[in-house]
Structure 1
Amino acid sequence: MKILIATVTVVMLSAGNIFAEDVIVLPAKNGNVEFHHKKHQEMLKTCMPCHEKKPGKIEVFGKDFAHKTCKGCHEERKAGPTKCNECHKK
């Protein structure tokens, strides 16, 4: 029984990695933003920095969220794009 519970837990926790799109194109007024989901999953090893409650669609995703969460994380980690034209592609 313990093995069954452990197996189900591992499958549930890895489901985001299995079903998540690799590259998500986010339409934006200043040019589309490509978000490399799989790359972020592999690097961060957790969903919580972006998905505060649980994996799935981020309901409040928009300019303010992206600039605070995404750009803020890139600045904090000194990794990833932080300038407008590095994210927004025309």
Structure 2
Amino acid sequence: MKRLLATLALTLFAAGTAFAADTLTFPARNGNVTFPHKMHQELLKDCKSCHEKGPGKIEGFGKDFAHKTCKGCHEQMKKGPTRCGECHKK
């Protein structure tokens, strides 16, 4: 768990630059999660949809955030993955 959190923190720190990575990969025990960041930027057009304080690290980001916020948005928009295996790939 500590390794996962350290990896997530490092990944988010690297993504917090002005030119965020096109795709981010988050390691998870039940399969890595690949996040198409650029696609979300182009679709949502407002960083504050996910980043409350603007571009950069998402405060409190982790499994609980993703399962509530990301999945909730996908359900609300009726678009995007909502089942475990749709995000987690082994």
What TM bracket, shorter-length normalisation?
Answer: 0.7 to 0.9
Deviation at 1:78, TM superposition (A): 0.2
User: Given the two structures, how large is their TM-score scaled by the length of structure 1?
Assistant: 0.77
- What does 1:31-70 align with in structure 2 at a 5 Å threshold? 31-70=31-70
CA RMSD of aligned residues (A): 1.7
Query: For 1:51-80, what per-residue CA distance to the aligned partner results, in whole angstroms no more than 9, with x for missing partners?
Result: 011210123111100011110000000000
User: Where in structure 1 do 4 or more consecutive aligned residues deviate above 2 Å?
Assistant: none
Could you tell me which amino acid in structure 2 is paired with residue 42 of structure 1? E
Residue aligning to 1:8: none
Residue aligning to 2:6: none
User: In structure 1, what is the Cα distance between the partners aligned to 2:65 and 2:25?
Assistant: 16
User: Given the two structures, how large is their TM-score scaled by the length of structure 2?
Assistant: 0.77
Could you tell me which amino acid in structure 2 is paired with residue 65 of structure 1? F
The sequence identity of aligned pairs, in percent, is 72
Could you tell me which amino acid in structure 1 is paired with residue 56 of structure 2? G
User: In structure 2, what is the Cα distance between the partners aligned to 1:29 and 1:63?
Assistant: 11
Residue aligning to 2:89: 89
Q: Name the SS of the counterpart of 1:71 in structure 2.
A: helix
Unaligned runs of 5+ in 2: 1-15
The structure whose Rg is larger is 1
